[in-house]
Amino acid sequence: MKLLGLDISTTVTAYTLVDTERPENDLVVKYEGIHLSKKKSLYDKAEIIKETFQNLSQDHTIDRIYAEESLQAFRRGLSSAKTLSTLTRFNGIVCYLAQGIFRAEVDLINVIHARSKLCIKLDRKSNIKTKDQVLSWALSNPSLTNIEWPEKTLKSGPRAGLTVKDPSCYDIADAAVMSLYGMISQN
């Protein structure tokens, strides 16, 4: 069974496709962090997602889709009513596209519930951000060992020339949480 996990955002939307018939250390079939920040319009961003999904559907039959449900409440310093509204609209657009292109049901999953089911322990008192803790979990997860995490080389500043993880790694890790949650919820 092929399960598609989605982390939907207007900056980077990521997907992770797993095949439950493959060995644990080779579950991930395909993954990508789709950079959208250069496009201003939600519809231009959606067009990029649509093209990506159409290409993916040519090579893979998706049985089920698991997407993070959009934020339901304000988060200090991160979300205004306008931001929540935009993210919710974009989440709806992307889920609609996914369901139409892949002809598979989309399950909207609360990210905290998904992390709990996968036994991802987050230290809320730590100075380490949640996204860094989730990425750390993903980097050490045996089911995700065949992911070659995207990197970029810094071009300027005091760390110029240094190769670091691309910011899309956070989104790929979140999408992996969704697809692995889908896998254990199928059992």
User: How many CB atoms within 10 Å of residue 115?
Assistant: 19
User: How many CB atoms within 10 Å of residue 3?
Assistant: 26
User: How many CB atoms within 10 Å of residue 1?
Assistant: 13
76 or 170, higher pLDDT: 170
Question: What local confidence, expressed as pLDDT, does residue 55 receive?
Answer: 98
Question: What local confidence, expressed as pLDDT, does residue 131 receive?
Answer: 93
Residues 37 and 43: their CA atoms lie apart, in Å, by: 13
Q: pLDDT tens for residues 80-133?
A: 677 778 888 999 999 999 999 999 999 999 999 999 999 999 998 899 999 999
> At residue 79, does pLDDT exceed 70?
no
176 or 87, higher pLDDT: 176
Pairing between β-strand 12-19 and β-strand 2-7 as defined by DSSP bridges? antiparallel
At what angle are helices 130-140 and 168-186 packed, to 10 degrees? Answer: 60
> At residue 25, does pLDDT exceed 50?
yes
**DSSP category for residue 31:** E
> At residue 64, does pLDDT exceed 70?
yes
Least confident of 75-79, 148-152, 174-178: 75-79
Average pLDDT, the chain: 92
What is the percentage of the chain residues whose pLDDT exceeds 70? Answer: 94
Going from the C-alpha of 97 to that of each of 43, 83, 102, 136, the distances in angstroms are 12, 21, 8, 31
> At residue 74, does pLDDT exceed 80?
no
Q: pLDDT tens for residues 145-166?
A: 999 999 999 999 899 899 999 9
The helix or strand, by DSSP H or E, that contains position 108, with its residue range, turns out to be strand 106-109
- pTM, two decimals, is 0.91
